[in-house]
Structure 1
Amino acid sequence: MANIIISPGKYVQGKGELKNISKHTKNLGENFFVIVSTSGMKRVANIIKESFSDSNTNLIFEIFNGECSENEIKRLQKSFQENNCDVVIGIGGGKILDTAKAIAYFENVPVVIAPTIASTDAPCSALSVIYTDEGIFDKYLLLNKNPDLILVDTQIIVSAPSRLLISGMGDALATYFELRACKRANSLNMSNGHITLAAEALAKLCYNTLLSEGFKAKMAVNNNVVTKAVENVVEANTLLSGLGFESGGLSGAHAIHNGFTVLQECHNLYHGEKVAFGTIAQLVLENAPLEEIKEVIDFCLSVGLPTNLSDMGIKKIDKDDIMKVAEASCAEGETIYNMPFDVTPYDVYSAILTADKLGSHYHK
């Protein structure tokens, strides 16, 4: 089996960089189909129009209906075809970006991804998460390639609530530890290959960047300003974690995240917030050194990520509910089975309760 790493065609990040979108996309096509939300239209449409004002490019803007569903994809795909477009641009949050990637996949055209938040590592991936029109998870759509261009304007990123960037740190926090588990298990990554040295180095750099820059970035984003620390954390959340998870693999932390989705108390949490606690639980499951667990907990405390079940919204622990979380974490096909040892629901149950106690201890 080969070692494989996959990545987007180009990654561009910088303050005010959206105004240069014409320059970065000039060789991709001539008729651009731009998917945005209603609020995004107000914030970015003029920037994009100005960027393309000196070119012969045609711009077609379409408002996203809110769900990355099969019906929404088909509706936008029909508009794409009727307007003879040849490039898709998705600007916004994860569901818009996944919709743009899906349309480009079905139409076999280039796709440009411009995230307006840095709350997950999904923008770089060759994957779209498909929901029903009511917002219920439906399926994963595996794409044949990564986006042609990722364009991240950090001025737009810092205009969003700081909790979103912090959530992205939680998602990125798992990258190194999940890759490490997958490597120990000799399991395959998202591209059905083994882990390269490059992917391992990127995942480790992702973790180190969070530790050194995360708190400083939080302070800056609380004031809606871009600093070097913000630039570094946005890159860690988006690029380093994106390449690391896709070319490294997922294991315990994301499976435990999925388990917590069965509890109503956790429904107001962002993806990365649940992943952060899942990372602590994974380290307990592995019986990692206490110094390493404490380092992760201290980081979470410094930026405001959950370290115990109370932080997760579970104010009164019902052990039957925690077992339900553990059982969902161990469902057939879950990434928990990429851990380098056999895992049972009882093991996950025990790790969650122990992680809660450890997180509460260092909370003091």
Structure 2
Amino acid sequence: MLNDLNVKVGPQFYRYSEGAIDSIPELLQEHAASRILIMHGGISWEKAKPFLTKVMNLDKEIIYEQYNGECSYNEGYRIAEIIKKNNVDFVIGVGGGKLSDVVLYASHLTNTQFGLIPTLASNCAPWAPLSVMYKDNGLAEGKSEHVKRQAAFLVTDPALVIDSPVNYFIAGIADTLAKWYESDLILEQEKFRDEPFPQMARFAARMCKEKVLKESEKAIKDMKAQNISDEFIHISEIIFAIAGLVGGLGDKYARNTAAHAIHDAISAYLPEVHDYLHGEKVAYGIFYQLALEKKWATIDELIPFYESLHLPKSLTEMGVYPMSESTLKNIIQLINSKKKVHLLPVQINKETLTTALIDLENYINK
């Protein structure tokens, strides 16, 4: 029996379909929202506004505020001050993953209800009960967990999501693929095989892997053609919803391990990778984790998929390897400090973590 499992299923209400955003006024009424703050991005906001006509025309006080582009503690505090100063009782976040995360964090600080309208499918941030935190300069700074808080709604329209950058969609595909490889060794252990919620998490993670490998290339092709196909719907929905269920149902045993840990480490110590999207760095992280587990055959199986989506397979391909010995030590030390990495049933120490990094570079570059 697991006594330390925090199950966070997801938003109170979810809908992803044509015209779904028109249901938000009714949802706001259900939550007695009267003073609303709409946090938004830049380009994504211009694309989203035509879908929000019914929301923007509500007979309620609505404040509009553009966020600064980073999910940082400072930005969270800034938004929290806006909420408190204007007696806001409901926040709506319209944008991508970082915006979703900073809205979650600011709503946590002020104990305010919030809903999310993703404008792209690049990660599971709109669903997951945590905020990935960055410094104001974009370098990684950890995360803030909120298992006791959830969105009042996650609602969006595929016609809005499909009109977003394809590279973000591909990054979301990679981030979603990681859900299986990061939880596989943990959840296959005997102690989890009769545990209902971890096994539900494992089922969701397997769906992430199988759907991504089967339907992603068609979904990307359809996105480029602006064709809202079944494959595009399936993959985008899996990216921001089903992927979030993995960690929501399995908690720390299914959330993320080495692939995300090395994402955090290179994001913290290698400013040169800042131009790579979260999911692109996690894609490399999947290969790093498989190298740590010595699953070279699995890497071989994934290489054609990676190459078809132009995902990075090594730090060399990202232009940051070789690196100085001090930088390598800092990266390894940060990975080793993550408790989640030590949940893997393999030997984890500075030596094995370093060996995996070097061995992967040699393997990919041979």
- TM-score, normalised by the number of residues in structure 2: 0.85
* 267-276 or 71-80: bigger deviation: 71-80
In 2 relative to 1, CA 357–157 (structure 1 residues): closer, same or farther, beyond 3 Å? farther
Retained in 1: the 8 A contact 2:130–2:144? Answer: yes
Question: Could you say what secondary structure the match of 2:156 adopts?
Answer: strand
The superposition leaves residues 251-296 of structure 1 with CA deviations (integer Å, 9 ceiling, x where unpaired) of: 1211222232223442321111111121122122212361x33332
Report whether the alignment pairs 1:236 with 2:238.
yes
Retained in 2: the 8 A contact 1:99–1:128? Answer: yes
Identity %: 25
Name the CA distance, whole Å, in 1 between partners of 2:73 and 2:333. Answer: 26
The structural deviation recorded for 1:166 is: 0.6
Q: Could you tell me which amino acid in structure 1 is paired with residue 21 of structure 2?
A: L
- What is the CA RMSD across the aligned residues, in angstroms? 2.9
Retained in 2: the 8 A contact 1:182–1:249? Answer: no
Q: Which residue of 2 aligns with 1:296?
A: 302
The superposition leaves residues 24-76 of structure 1 with CA deviations (integer Å, 9 ceiling, x where unpaired) of: 444122322211124344333353233464x5444322222333344433433
Name the CA distance, whole Å, in 1 between partners of 2:90 and 2:20. Answer: 19
In 2 relative to 1, CA 321–297 (structure 1 residues): closer, same or farther, beyond 3 Å? farther
Of the candidates 281, 284, 287, which is equivalent to residue 274 of structure 1?
A: 281
Q: Which residue of 2 aligns with 1:354?
A: 359
The superposition leaves residues 88-117 of structure 1 with CA deviations (integer Å, 9 ceiling, x where unpaired) of: 111112232122112322332321111212
Report whether the alignment pairs 1:335 with 2:340.
yes
Name the CA distance, whole Å, in 2 between partners of 1:129 and 1:114. Answer: 18
Of the candidates 146, 150, 153, which is equivalent to residue 146 of structure 1?
A: 150
In 2 relative to 1, CA 93–202 (structure 1 residues): closer, same or farther, beyond 3 Å? same
Retained in 2: the 8 A contact 1:322–1:349? Answer: no
Name the CA distance, whole Å, in 1 between partners of 2:324 and 2:72. Answer: 35
* 206-215 or 3-12: bigger deviation: 3-12
Name the CA distance, whole Å, in 1 between partners of 2:331 and 2:86. Answer: 49
The unaligned stretches of length 5 or more in structure 2 are none
Q: Which residue of 2 aligns with 1:122?
A: 125
Q: Could you tell me which amino acid in structure 1 is paired with residue 300 of structure 2?
A: K
Q: Which residue of 2 aligns with 1:72?
A: 75
Name the CA distance, whole Å, in 1 between partners of 2:56 and 2:106. Answer: 22
Q: Could you tell me which amino acid in structure 2 is paired with residue 48 of structure 1?
A: L
Q: Which residue of 1 aligns with 2:174?
A: 170
Q: Which residue of 2 aligns with 1:61?
A: 64
Name the CA distance, whole Å, in 2 between partners of 1:131 and 1:289. Answer: 32
Q: Could you tell me which amino acid in structure 2 is paired with residue 87 of structure 1?
A: F
The structural deviation recorded for 1:210 is: 0.3
The superposition leaves residues 316-364 of structure 1 with CA deviations (integer Å, 9 ceiling, x where unpaired) of: 6358478447514533235321211221233233323433454457xxx
Q: Which residue of 2 aligns with 1:205?
A: 207
Of the candidates 292, 304, 313, which is equivalent to residue 319 of structure 2?
A: 313
Of the candidates 240, 259, 262, which is equivalent to residue 265 of structure 2?
A: 259
Name the CA distance, whole Å, in 2 between partners of 1:28 and 1:71. Answer: 28
The structural deviation recorded for 1:127 is: 1.5
Q: Could you tell me which amino acid in structure 2 is paired with residue 234 of structure 1?
A: S
Q: Which residue of 1 aligns with 2:185?
A: 181
Name the CA distance, whole Å, in 2 between partners of 1:323 and 1:73. Answer: 31
In 2 relative to 1, CA 40–257 (structure 1 residues): closer, same or farther, beyond 3 Å? closer
Name the CA distance, whole Å, in 2 between partners of 1:30 and 1:4. Answer: 28
Name the CA distance, whole Å, in 2 between partners of 1:138 and 1:129. Answer: 8
Retained in 2: the 8 A contact 1:182–1:251? Answer: no
* 196-205 or 44-53: bigger deviation: 44-53
Question: Could you say what secondary structure the match of 1:7 adopts?
Answer: coil
The structural deviation recorded for 1:130 is: 3.8
Count of residues in Structure 1 that have an aligned counterpart in Structure 2: 354
The superposition leaves residues 166-201 of structure 1 with CA deviations (integer Å, 9 ceiling, x where unpaired) of: 11111111101211233256899xxxx995221111
Question: Could you say what secondary structure the match of 1:196 adopts?
Answer: helix
Of the candidates 7, 10, 20, which is equivalent to residue 9 of structure 2?
A: 7
Name the CA distance, whole Å, in 1 between partners of 2:352 and 2:333. Answer: 13
Name the CA distance, whole Å, in 1 between partners of 2:296 and 2:74. Answer: 48
Name the CA distance, whole Å, in 2 between partners of 1:10 and 1:216. Answer: 29
In 2 relative to 1, CA 121–328 (structure 1 residues): closer, same or farther, beyond 3 Å? farther
Q: Which residue of 1 aligns with 2:161?
A: 157
Name the CA distance, whole Å, in 2 between partners of 1:110 and 1:130. Answer: 20
Q: Which residue of 2 aligns with 1:33?
A: 37
- TM-score, normalised by the number of residues in structure 1: 0.85
* 162-171 or 214-223: bigger deviation: 214-223
Retained in 2: the 8 A contact 1:70–1:132? Answer: yes
Question: Could you say what secondary structure the match of 1:118 adopts?
Answer: coil
